[in-house]
Amino acid sequence: MALLQISEPGMAPAPHQRRLAVGIDLGTTNSLGAAVRSGIAEVLPDEEGRMLLPSAVHYRPDGSARIGHAALAERAADPRNTIVSVKRLMGRGRDEVATDGARYDLAEAATGGGQVRLSTTAGFKSPVEVSAEILATLRQRAEDTLGDDLVGAVITVPAYFDDAQRQATKDAAQLAGLDVLRLLNEPTAAAIAYGLDHGVEGNYAVYDLGGGTFDVSILRLTHGVFEVLATGGDTALGGDDFDARLAGLATVAAGVVAGQLSDAEHARFAAVARAAKEDLTDALIVDVAFDAAGVHRHAAISRDAFAAATSDLVDRTVESARRCLRDAKLQAVDIAGVVLVGGATRMPQVRAAVERCFGKPPLIDLDPDRVVALGAAMQADALAGNRAGDGEQWLLLDVIPLSLGVETMGGLAEKIIARNSTLPVARAQEFTTFKDGQTAMAIHVVQGERELVSDCRSLARFELRGIPPMTAGAARIRVTYQVDADGLLSVSAREITSNVEARIAVKPSYGLGDDEVARMLQDSFGAADSDMRARALREQQVEAARIVAATESALGADAALLDPPQVERIRCQIDAVRQVADGVDHAAIKDAIDALSHGTERFAELRMDASVRRALAGKRLDEIA
């Protein structure tokens, strides 16, 4: 996460001084670059006039690499050395890509804190190096078209890329010899391409269905401030899934089972299915021809049949979009416009569903494949100092993707900053000590939506020491969470009465990825009920431990105030609480606690009287009044 992006108010240079900058959409499936020339943003084509560069890199044993279409051409013959969808691995640790691991041949780095490496015939490659190959290709295109006066690039990233993923993207650019003027969120770039930054006010939705991912964001524009209100989506849903459905329809229609295809036939069929899917966007029926076990087959697939076979996929995107609206605390009617991004939004069934969901036709004037790169190019142009005037500044705000909290007694996560809070943000909460005379407190910073710490991600631990000894519950410890504009968290804890303070800056070496964010959210939605029960049980267990400790400390100090049988009865009640405290019977723990607290009422009164007498002992009446 980075955010609060404020464009430098540039002076317009004289025409001959015009500084050229490129905007790059570094996509999971396709990447492309664009630049503003003669005041108009245009995509930069390759020498054959193609705009999209497939995000694919093929490595050869001699260490050389082929990028884009040339790499995809090698994929069927040499899949292990053809890296695709590397964006999913950017800034991620080995254990964070376990689910994606099957797609790649992964190896752990010898150094580098467990960051992922891909094992290829040309040696180990980091995702940063692979991405750098793609960026270098686009840089070359830009220099061929614009000359070599390129001052830098704006590179787009998904809105909920975390700090580590953003840093990895920057590293890749640097490796490719590009000066990064700024990283820009993809939905924001799309909004800029539509000119929504020019005096437009209101809430906008950006619906982005790419090759392998779906992202939806709600942006709010007010007085030149561009704010990302909420983000959502599904990192395992994209055009590829539609290809697979089309392939399924074709095999069934041709009376073939998928297992009959050899690996090579399968690879070719995947490309055929994808092309057929794209053709169905304009045609009402397509003929899908493929080989199965050496036999030539074909099947006619209609647009309606394809729409019916993919309606559940489309419904899932709509469900994510609704959830994102809810997170932004908005309704469909509050949305002034919907921007379509990503090649897969060309499919008519997708457009129709978006229109139904938001109650208005989406904006489709710009090519959904190019809109992000075009917006990035405009931002790059502004940052290079080619635009003047106050109206041309952008102030972009972002949100945190998952709640930040602290561990409290019993392994419970107490949320301090809620998910989707706008950055920068600071929040404080007060806590107290649990034991008499407690002089230190461990602070465990966690991230996630779940009630139990064990279901959240641990970000950092530190200790507040030197708390003056006080009775349990008397200390006042104020824990403050602050997330700055770059998305970096710092946590401080201060005991108010003594002013003892400790603080820590949290910068995870690699943070949560989209998948993990999505999974953790999914888990929390599914688990809300059982979480609440687990929380109630933990709270009861903590209360049991607290009352046992408090009663024992009271007996230790003042047992003399009671008769031996009274002491014995209280000890029995303590034992009764102990026996059930670690169990899962919520009601039994509560009953035992109630019995003990009831049984010690008289004792508490006696202690109170005694302590008042002690305080007053030896004092004259006029001293007390």
Contact residues for ligand ADP (CB under 6 A)?
27-30, 210-213, 239-240, 274, 277-278, 281, 342-344, 346-347, 369
State yes or no: residue 511 binds Mg ion (CB under 5 A): no
Query: Which of these, 495, 476, 479, 462, lies nearest to 428 by C-alpha position?
Result: 479
CB of 185 to Mg ion, least distance (A): 12
Sole window of 35-43, 67-75, 85-93, 206-214 interacting with Mg ion (rule: CB under 5 A): 206-214
State yes or no: residue 33 binds Mg ion (CB under 5 A): no
Supply 449's token pair. Answer: 């939506």
- Cβ neighbors of 607 (< 8 A, separation 6 or more) are 554, 557, 558, 561
Query: What's the CA gap between 228 and 158, in Å, rounded?
Result: 12
Q: What's the gap between Cα 161 and its chain centre?
A: 6
Strands 489-495 and 500-506 turn out to be antiparallel
**415 has catalytic annotation:** no
**Are the beta carbons of 201 and 292 closer than 8 angstroms?**
no
User: 100 contacts which partner out of Mg ion, ligand ADP, none, CB within 5 to 8 A by kind?
Assistant: none
Q: To which H or E segment does residue 471 belong?
A: none
Q: To which H or E segment does residue 230 belong?
A: strand 225-234
Judged by beta carbon, residue 212 or residue 385, the one nearer ligand ADP is 212
CB of 190 to Mg ion, least distance (A): 9
- For 421, which DSSP code? P
CB of 233 to ligand ADP, least distance (A): 12
Taking every pair of Cα atoms in the chain, the longest distance, rounded to a whole number of angstroms, is: 110
CB of 83 to Mg ion, least distance (A): 18
User: 29 contacts which partner out of Mg ion, ligand ADP, none, CB within 5 to 8 A by kind?
Assistant: ligand ADP
Query: What's the CA gap between 380 and 181, in Å, rounded?
Result: 7
> In Å, how far are 226, 390, 396 from 223, measured between CA atoms?
8, 12, 12
Q: Which residue has the tokens 């920057």?
A: 170
User: 487 contacts which partner out of Mg ion, ligand ADP, none, CB within 5 to 8 A by kind?
Assistant: none
Task: Report the half-sphere exposure of 412 (CA within 13 A, side-chain side).
Answer: 19
Q: How many residues bind Mg ion (CB under 5 A)?
A: 2
Sole window of 20-28, 107-115, 374-382, 430-438 interacting with Mg ion (rule: CB under 5 A): 20-28
Judged by beta carbon, residue 373 or residue 445, the one nearer Mg ion is 373
Query: What's the CA gap between 217 and 354, in Å, rounded?
Result: 13
State yes or no: residue 368 binds Mg ion (CB under 5 A): no
- Cβ neighbors of 114 (< 8 A, separation 6 or more) are 93, 94, 95, 108
Judged by beta carbon, residue 210 or residue 233, the one nearer Mg ion is 210
CB of 26 to ligand ADP, least distance (A): 8
User: 162 contacts which partner out of Mg ion, ligand ADP, none, CB within 5 to 8 A by kind?
Assistant: none
State yes or no: residue 187 binds Mg ion (CB under 5 A): no
Provide the terminal-to-terminal Cα distance of the chain, rounded to the nearest Å.
Answer: 60
Judged by beta carbon, residue 27 or residue 152, the one nearer Mg ion is 27
Tell me, letter by letter, the H, E, C secondary structure of 26-57. ECCCEEEEEEEECCEEEECCCCCCCCCEECEE
The residue number whose beta carbon is nearest to ligand ADP equals 239
Task: Check 100, 186, 278, 531 and give the catalytic one.
Answer: 186
User: 277 contacts which partner out of ligand ADP, Mg ion, none, CB within 5 to 8 A by kind?
Assistant: ligand ADP
Judged by beta carbon, residue 30 or residue 81, the one nearer ligand ADP is 30
**327 has catalytic annotation:** no
Task: Check 163, 208, 516, 543 and give the catalytic one.
Answer: 208
Phi, psi (deg, nearest 5) at residue 171: -60, -40
CB of 67 to Mg ion, least distance (A): 18
CB of 544 to ligand ADP, least distance (A): 52
CB of 292 to ligand ADP, least distance (A): 22
User: 448 contacts which partner out of Mg ion, ligand ADP, none, CB within 5 to 8 A by kind?
Assistant: none
**197 has catalytic annotation:** no
State yes or no: residue 513 binds Mg ion (CB under 5 A): no
Tell me, letter by letter, the H, E, C secondary structure of 131-195. HHHHHHHHHHHHHHHHCCCEEEEEEEECCCCCHHHHHHHHHHHHHCCCCEEEEEEHHHHHHHHCC
Judged by beta carbon, residue 212 or residue 410, the one nearer ligand ADP is 212
User: 369 contacts which partner out of ligand ADP, Mg ion, none, CB within 5 to 8 A by kind?
Assistant: ligand ADP
**Are the beta carbons of 429 and 478 closer than 8 angstroms?**
yes
User: 192 contacts which partner out of Mg ion, ligand ADP, none, CB within 5 to 8 A by kind?
Assistant: none
Q: Which residue has the tokens 């490659």?
A: 125
Judged by beta carbon, residue 286 or residue 521, the one nearer ligand ADP is 286
Task: Check 87, 125, 277, 415 and give the catalytic one.
Answer: 87
State yes or no: residue 210 binds Mg ion (CB under 5 A): yes
Query: What's the CA gap between 609 and 55, in Å, rounded?
Result: 78
Residue 226, classified by CB atoms within 10 Å of its CB into exposed (0-12), middle (13-18) or buried (19+), is: buried
CB of 238 to ligand ADP, least distance (A): 6
User: 401 contacts which partner out of Mg ion, ligand ADP, none, CB within 5 to 8 A by kind?
Assistant: none
DSSP secondary structure string, 262-315? -HHHHHHHHHHHHHHHHHHTT-SEEEEEEEETTEEEEEEEEHHHHHHHTHHHHH
Q: Which of 10, 23, 27, 448 binds Mg ion (CB under 5 A)?
A: 27
State yes or no: residue 448 binds Mg ion (CB under 5 A): no
**208 has catalytic annotation:** yes
Judged by beta carbon, residue 232 or residue 239, the one nearer ligand ADP is 239
User: 231 contacts which partner out of Mg ion, ligand ADP, none, CB within 5 to 8 A by kind?
Assistant: none
Judged by beta carbon, residue 241 or residue 543, the one nearer ligand ADP is 241
Residues designated catalytic: 25, 87, 186, 208
Which residues form the interface with Mg ion (CB under 5 A)? 27, 210
